[in-house]
Amino acid sequence: MTENPSPLIALPHRALIGLTGPDWGVFLGGQTTINAEAIFAAVADGTHKPLYYGAFLTPQGKLSADFFLHPRGPEEVWIEIAADGRDDLFNRLNMFKLRAKVALSKPDATVFASIGAGDLPDPRQADLFRHYGDDDATGDIADYVDFRLTHGLADPGFDFPKDYLYPIDINLDLIDAIDFKKGCFVGQETTSRMKRRGKIKNRLIPLIHTSTFAFGAEVLLGDRRAGEVLASRNGRSLALMRLDRLDGALLTVDAETVELAPPDWLRPYLVWTE
- Comparing CA positions, the residue from 92, 119, 80, 122 lying closest to residue 30 is 92
Q: d(Cα 12, Cα 112) in Å, to the nearest integer?
A: 8
**Per-residue pLDDT at 3:** 55
203-216 confidence digits (pLDDT tens): 999 999 999 999 99
114-124 confidence digits (pLDDT tens): 999 999 999 99
Q: d(Cα 177, Cα 13) in Å, to the nearest integer?
A: 21
Rg (CA), the chain: 19
The answer on pLDDT for 168 being more than 80 is yes
- Comparing CA positions, the residue from 187, 181, 184 lying closest to residue 30 is 184
In CATH, the number for domain 9-174 is 3.30.70.1400
- Three-state DSSP state, 259: strand
Q: d(Cα 105, Cα 221) in Å, to the nearest integer?
A: 48
242-274 confidence digits (pLDDT tens): 988 887 678 999 999 999 999 999 999 886 544
Check: CB of residue 204 under 8 Å from CB of residue 219: no
pLDDT band at 185 (very low <50, low <70, confident <90, very high): confident
Sign, CA torsion 117/120/121/122: negative
| Per-position DSSP letters for 174-238, written without gaps between them | GTT---TTS---TTHHHHHHHHHTSS-SEEEEEEE-SS---TTPEEEETTEEEEEEEEEETTEEE
Query: How many helices (H) and strands (E) would you count in the chain?
Result: 5, 15
Q: Where are the domains of the chain?
A: 9-174, 201-273
40-74 confidence digits (pLDDT tens): 999 999 999 999 999 999 999 899 999 999 999 99
Q: Do domains 9-174 and 201-273 have the same CATH topology?
A: no
**Total residue length of the chain:** 274
Check: CB of residue 81 under 8 Å from CB of residue 14: yes
**Per-residue pLDDT at 55:** 96
CATH topology of domain 201-273: Elongation Factor Tu (Ef-tu); domain 3 (2.40.30)
